[in-house]
Structure 1
Amino acid sequence: MSQTPLLSPYGLLGKTLGHSYSPEIHKALGNAAYTLFERFPHELAQFLAQPDLKGLNVTIPYKQTVMSACQRLSDAAKRIGCVNTMVRQADNSWYGHNTDYDGFIFLLQRAHITVAHKKVLILGDGATSHTVHIALEDLGAREIIHLSRKTAPFYEDAPQHSEDTDIIINTTPVGMYPHCPNQLITLADFTKLSGVVDVVYNPYRTALLIEAEQRGIPYSDGLPMLVGQAVAAATLFQNKTFGPEEADTIITKLRQQQENIILIGMPGVGKTTVGQALAARFKRPLIDCDEEFEKRYSHPGDYIATYGEPAFREKETALLQELCKTTGAIIATGGGIVTRPENYPILRQNGRIYWIRRPLERLATDNRPLSQGGLQRLEELYTIRQPLYETFSQYSLDFATPDEGAQRIEEEYYAHFNS
């Protein structure tokens, strides 16, 4: 990695940045000059000394390293012990702050999760967990417990706190892309939860959050924290006040761009043709799970005829695990995808699931061995699968033509995000 010319006075500093939402977020906040700065440790001193730099966000592994370059630190940065935002002062000195603190508080407020006088269980004991801990103290949490892999209490001790814990917050990377949907603990034993938070934002819904959603517990992923901290940083960079509506607009836009639209329904209902119409409307790629299966193995019908349905379902789930880690796609699934409960978190992690329906007598049955046997067989299959489709889907619809189905899904999709 060579020293590159400074092209912008604002940006994100790190060692290996890869994809980052930060430039897009700051551009939406009026700072089109914001960019990414990848630097090795030995380049930091020279880089930070450049007088043209005006403001930086800082990510791993430099959040503690840059503290020594700051002539003044905010109280939050001092208490947390690391800096993620640096602002050049009029006398050319650096002021260091930690806007992750602000971002986490914004996350809680947006999710309507209150922590005052409550017991909070934090998963993890790293830098992020310390930031969260300080914010929880300031918000008046009654008790804060950290579970860890290295020191007691451990993650396996979670059930000991199940009866009186109000809030659970995951600050670890467990469940983050590409290791999703993994989770450290289950919520099954927790009887009085009023909120679950996961600072991970890729995928949008970790397994922990999907479990919270299924149990009707208020929850939030880490995207509002990311955007909230960026808004707090932009306030310092631009000396300008932003309201919560700016952050909400950015969050909504990012979610609209990235959330998969997933189609489920009976074999032959038209998931592929509706998917093609949706792909044209949204200008997104279409992923047809049956086609992807055929590319790797053989036609699903032929595979089932040769190896049996259980073997097919195993392969289908493994393939689904890979395909659904993407974002911003239209995904048409096989008709029996709902027969395995483990497929739900795979689909839901990055997607909104639509159950499309048509009269059984209008379903295509060609080369679909599980649909053979006429209308009676389809009715038997539907009786089994109908409650599964209902459980999996966030929205269901009947349609006459693929274009009508696509239009209705498009309308519901945007209405959902703007509600």
Structure 2
Amino acid sequence: MSIDPTNNPALRSWVQTANVRGADFPIQNLPFGIFRRAGTREAPRVGVAIGAAILDMAACLAAGLFDEDSEARQAATACAMPTLNELMSRGASARRALRNAISALLAESAAVHRRQIAEHALVLQTDAELFLPAQIGDYTDFYASVHHATNVGSMFRPDQPLLPNYKWVPIGYHGRASSIVVSGTPVRRPVGQRKGPNEEVPSVGPSRLLDYELELAAFVGTGNALGDAIPMEQANEHLFGLCLLNDWSARDIQAWEYQPLGPFLAKNFASTISPWVVTLEALEPFRQPLAPRAEGDPEPLPYLTSDADRAHGGFGITVETWLRTAQMREAGDPAVRLTQGQATDLYWSMAQLLVHHASSGCNLRPGDLLGSGTISGAAKESRGCLLELTWRGAEPLTLPNGETRRFLEDGDELEITAFAEREGAARIGFGRCVGTIMPALGSA
């Protein structure tokens, strides 16, 4: 596995906030997103996060800062768009050329006159409004954590927690792209049919068992034509990058409706993603072997395996959830961490999810979103949702201020964060994926 020079841990930027230890957005990261200056009617456009600032790509292009590299300049022409879809469609080679040019522009070694021009293209993140990074045409959520699948299965099917197909085929369902929202968007408690175990008939009302799901999601870069498949050896050329995903879930609505066709209203009221997309190039230093399969587990079928994916298909990403209740905010108390897990606990790789999705001839398109499913590990503190952490509400969590939670209450603010770090590489982060629960419509 080759490491791109833009990942050199010794690189420093003339943007000083990018050099702060523990910063999410050092020069080795350079994630893409969509922004405009807050309080303006400017057109949303592509920006790159660097430290506490955003580099305005359209302004850099207009100033001629990419003129020295024709491939980078051509890629940058996609950055005046209000979404990343056009850049995603240009392919991995164009993305790498643009990343190399941005890295050189922001490095301490950049020529003084180029730095002076680029300084005028910086916008503080606190002065910016952020948008969904792409026009998401289709959204598929998978079930790629065997620990999550086993935990949930043992609650509802104690005699057979995992169904026979789980270890053979990546399980997923088609979600609702129209209700995907960017971090910071309030989430209204959904209303739906629910039927408790001791109730004779269902009733309609606000969900009583509202939950989060801690996930990563991959954006498709270049897609495939209808009827074509994507071989494992080419999967990474079709993936653009990763973001954070909270697949909000109404467990009582879900329990009543999910058979026989799977989730519907329990999942379609909102899914929150982070605004910054961390490219595969930024994640290269954190590639890891796939988690070893348990003794007796089947090997993936040939179309779902490759030597490269076995050796480097996993990502060493730490994922966390943080809760801050309304009472905690009023008292000025900090958020409390509920979960810390590892993306390496996933049973299926992002490449396998992509390849399986396309294997039937399904045409994936630039900007399509593939969710990992809830990321949970073997330890209790690594369980990625309240359904698991409280074991279906039977083991409530006690917060530092004495409050308890079985599921989310109105006013709760749930934040997902993630970072990748290892010796010999610069730590990179994903930013924040935040939503606050609002009362259901019609509630007092």
Structure 1 length as normaliser, TM-score? Answer: 0.28
How does the TM-score come out when normalised to structure 2?
0.27
Structure number with greater Rg is 1
Q: Which has the higher contact order (CA 8 A, sep 6+)?
A: 2
Question: Larger strand proportion, structure 1 or 2?
Answer: 2
Greater helix share, structure number = 1
